Amino acid sequence: MTASVSNAAEKNGNGLAIDVKGLTKKFGSKVAVDHIDIAVPKGQVWGFLGPNGSGKTTTIRMLCGLLTADEGSGTCLGLDIRTQPEAIKRQVGYMTQRFSFWDDLSIRENLEFVARLYELPDRRRRVDQTLERLGLTKRQDQLAAHLSGGWKQRLALAACLLHDPQLLLLDEPTAGVDPKARRDFWEQIHGLSDQGLTVLVSTHYMDEAERCDRIVYILNGKLVAAGTVPDVIERSRLSTFVLEGENVRQLVSELQDKPGVDYAGFFGAALRVSGRDHDALARAVAPFRDKPGVTLREEAPSLEDVFIQLQEKAG
């Protein structure tokens, strides 16, 4: 399944926050990012997905001016990614995978230091406003070392917002935080989007991907799927059957090599079996329809089904 990300965005009257074509980055003989096109309309939230090592972080770093592309061209916030990286950095908030602030400084001290790095005027007012905006005012004197994962996440997001960026690039920002912190984070992200901020966020969580206006999926450095979640699922042409009951886990080995079965895996209390040839898949699971203690039904494939199938297909 291939896709172009630019067509729908180019029709958007709000213009593009990101518009790059042929983006490529090599490290020695390894091609980390392979001729990717991305065009993100202003004010939208886009999910950036792919397995570890697929090229997500490298792409984000090229977009925000931290890496120079070996091939390709384009703009970020109307600025040339090749010739104006310093100007891009001034208008982009970039949240890295790892917590990168100072453990022996308080929340306020960390934000004040970042404000000085950006040479922001009226730093105290900016820090006060950002603390209030992210619900950090009561904790402002707490050392970063003593914060939980969710509060460290808020501090990192606060630092990204200090200089009033037009674009947020968030690299797996919710990794390692609890479900409530993830939910609160996404409420903040959608609130920022409602105010006109553009967000590109990489994630491994399918429920987070489904919160995005559109998603981009890359694999081995190549763009393999893009669009709204329903569009990506529909274009996969995937069919899925679900088996439930006692000991259905033991059926995985029986189904994996049958014609029509691209993937069989256990999720929760159910065995999900997917494939692109509906008729062959239906024949593969048919013998289990009358198996005592087992129920069989067909349902729409999930986004996770689609992405697993893409990875299996790529080998």
Range 6-233 classified under CATH 3.40.50.300: yes
Range 237-314 classified under CATH 3.30.70.250: yes
Residue 82 has pLDDT above 90, yes or no: yes
Bridge partners, residue 214, by sequence = 46
CB neighbour list of residue 102: distance below 8 Å, 6 or more residues apart: 109, 110, 113, 144
Q: Where in the chain is the domain with CATH 3.30.70.250?
A: 237-314
Residue 108 has pLDDT above 50, yes or no: yes
What are the helix (H) ranges across the chain?
6-10, 56-63, 85-91, 107-117, 123-133, 149-161, 179-194, 206-209, 229-235, 252-255, 278-285, 303-314
Residue 27: which H helix or E strand, with range?
A: strand 16-27
Residue 4 has pLDDT above 60, yes or no: no
DSSP state of 146: G
In whole angstroms, how far apart are CA 292 and each of 34, 243, 246, 297, 298? 50, 12, 9, 15, 18
What string of H, E and C letters represents the secondary structure of 191-245? HHHHCCCEEEEECCCHHHHCCCCEEEEEECCEEEEEECHHHHHHHCCCEEEEEEE
pLDDT of residue 181: 85
Report helix, strand or coil for 172: coil
pLDDT of residue 7: 44
DSSP state of 303: H
pTM assigned to the model: 0.86
pLDDT of residue 84: 96
pLDDT digits (tens, 9 = 90+) for 235-270: 999 999 999 988 888 888 889 889 999 999 888 789
In whole angstroms, how far apart are CA 252 and each of 216, 241, 303? 30, 13, 20
**Sorting pLDDT into bands at 50, 70 and 90, what band is 8?**
very low
Alpha carbon distance 193, 40 (integer Å): 13
pLDDT digits (tens, 9 = 90+) for 176-230: 788 888 888 899 999 999 999 999 999 888 889 999 999 999 999 999 999 999 9
Quote the distance between the C-alpha of residue 65 and its chain's center. 19
Alpha carbon distance 70, 22 (integer Å): 10
Q: Where in the chain is the domain with CATH 3.40.50.300?
A: 6-233
Alpha carbon distance 164, 126 (integer Å): 10
**Sorting pLDDT into bands at 50, 70 and 90, what band is 74?**
very high
The share of the chain scoring above pLDDT 90, in percent, equals 72
